[in-house]
Chain A
Amino acid sequence: MALLEVTDVASGYGEVQILWGASLKLYRGQLTTLVGSNGVGKTTLLRTVMGLLRPWQGTIVFDGQDLTRAPAHARAKAGLVLVPEGRQLFTDMTVLENLEMGAFSPRARAHFQENLDKVFALFPRLAERRGQKSGLMSGGEQQMLAVARGLMAQPELLIIDELSLGLSPLLALTLFESLTQLKKSGLTMLLVEQNVSLALAVSDYAYVMAEGRVVMEGEARALLKNDDIRRTYLGVAH
């Protein structure tokens, strides 16, 4: 059974429809990438999955529970966790306070110390800066904190929107390195990523979005070889 099953979801902003029936399935232990050009609705799909936008039609089932109408905070409590585009840190609060807020839900609270040790091992920078106001850190450090805060929530499924946006290539590689470590530990993840070749290289499976719909899917390795994908998203001339 799929961990997350999104079926025929439509939504948008105000009167403007962005998603026109998007569907996808994620399985436990897999790393999946969602690919698509700028503005096709990837972030909108994630916002709808998280309950930040109300779906106009379709269903969202997570771990056997129908969460289609559940408020956003209930989804985090069920283990569905998003690292949002643009980080969205608590910029007036310290690094440690951000991590504490990540572990707000009861399921995460019980594992607080264990998870804190884990994220500090994964991102030693954060351990050094735990008392610093998060808004004053560098972009790279803020991105680490955004991922770490998501991990503190004890996710069943961790969704990351634009992990490497605005980061140096070296730092992006380091963060991807952390993702493969997390995958080895058994975490299920969904990535939305500008750097498509890097994302596909570490993923098991991928979905391709265009104009508010999922238009293609397959093994990540197969998509890496697909001519259409190479032309459109990898910038490879034919």
Chain B
Amino acid sequence: MFGQLLSSLADGLLLGFVYGLAAMGLSLIWGVMTVINLAHGPVIALGMFTAYLLFTQAGVNPYLALLPVAVLGMALGLVIYGAAVHRVLNAPHLSTLLATFAVNMIIIGVGTAVFTTSPHNIDFSLGSFSLGPLTVPFTRVVAAFAALAATALLYLFLYFTRPGKAIRAVANNRMAAELMGISSTTMLALSFGLGTLLACLAGGLIATFFPFTILSGGPYELKSFVICVLGGLGNPLGALLGGLLLGGLEGLVPAFMPVSWVPVVEFGLFVLVLLLRPQGLLGAK
């Protein structure tokens, strides 16, 4: 019993790193421009399928494939920002919700037409290791480290580089940033690109251990909302910690009640945090 609990907790925590990475993209976009990107899930799924196509069509190692996945994620983000988000940025919030929801529907529609909705998977394994009662596939461990590395890089970018600081300045006071010579449009587009890049990366990593369809990003999008509320907005470390918290919860809950209760607990927590600590459990904002 205890061994089982331990192994399920370890599973959950390792997944939690990837949840955190997926949420980081949503959190960055939300924090910088107060846009809730409803296309977040399908973008994650596009990351999965990009890695899949590179692997099956060109034989690219799924980890090497992360590089083109990232580049494509940035490009996709710039296109979505330019086509759907920029023009409604200053309109009421409902407009940005509708615009990103439209992008969501387009990606799912095209994705379904091209890939159908039957599951795909990347037939790839690094084996696994056992530690007492634990059996852990190496792909999960690599994914956790990759997520950790991406978090660290994003943090260093935002706090120690000029464009990173300019993104924070635009998030903080767009008008003042313009007055200082910072093109807010450039920085907003860059943030949106980074947000989708992170989502695609998360998708590429998830594809190394779970089968997926074009709809598979949905659950991660929902988890990302919970994590944004737990970890606060625009803060990479907060998103990672929120992801770990959620992953840990997913590991523990099934030991005490049926698995189908997991979302109930997650969203119960979501509502509770919103009610009691709307600035986020870990965030200052």
Contacts and interface: CB of A to CB of B under 8 A. Distances in A.
B43 to A, nearest CB: 27
A90 B169 contact: yes
Contacts of A108: 181
B168 A93 contact: yes
A84 B175 CA distance: 10
Interface string B155-197: 0000000100110110111011111111110000000000000
Interface stretch (A24-32, A58-66, A70-78): A70-78
Contact of B179 (A81, A91, A92, A97): A81
Nearest to B159: A97
B175 A104 contact: no
A105 interface: yes
Nearest to A92: B172
Nearest to B163: A104
A90 B172 contact: yes
A47 B135 CA distance: 63
A100 B165 contact: yes
Contacts of A90: 168-169, 172-173, 176-177
Contact of A71 (B162, B165, B178): B178
A50 interface: yes
Interface in B124-180: 162, 165-166, 168-169, 171-173, 175-180
A91 B172 contact: yes
A18 B172 CA distance: 28
Given A92-B168, A97-B165, A73 B182 contact: yes
Given A93-B165, A93-B169, A97-B165, A84 B181 contact: no
Given A93-B168, A101-B165, A101-B166, A82 B173 contact: no
B156 to A, nearest CB: 15
A161 to B, nearest CB: 11
B176 A104 contact: no
B184 A91 contact: no
A167 interface: no
B169 A73 contact: no
Contacts of B168: 90, 92-93, 97
Contact of A105 (B171, B176, B181): B181
A9 interface: no
A168 interface: no
Contacts of B178: 51-52, 71-73, 76
Interface in A154-207: none
Contacts of A89: 173, 176
Contacts of A57: none
A108 B183 CA distance: 15
A153 B180 contact: yes
A77 B285 CA distance: 31
B154 to A, nearest CB: 17
Contacts of A93: 165, 168-169, 172
A213 interface: no
23 contacts: A50-B179, A51-B178, A71-B183, A73-B177, A73-B178, A73-B179, A76-B178, A76-B179, A76-B180, A81-B179, A88-B173, A90-B168, A92-B172, A93-B168, A93-B169, A97-B169, A100-B162, A101-B169, A101-B177, A104-B166, A104-B181, A149-B180, A153-B181
Given A73-B178, A90-B168, 5 more contacts: A73-B179, A91-B172, A93-B165, A102-B180, A153-B181
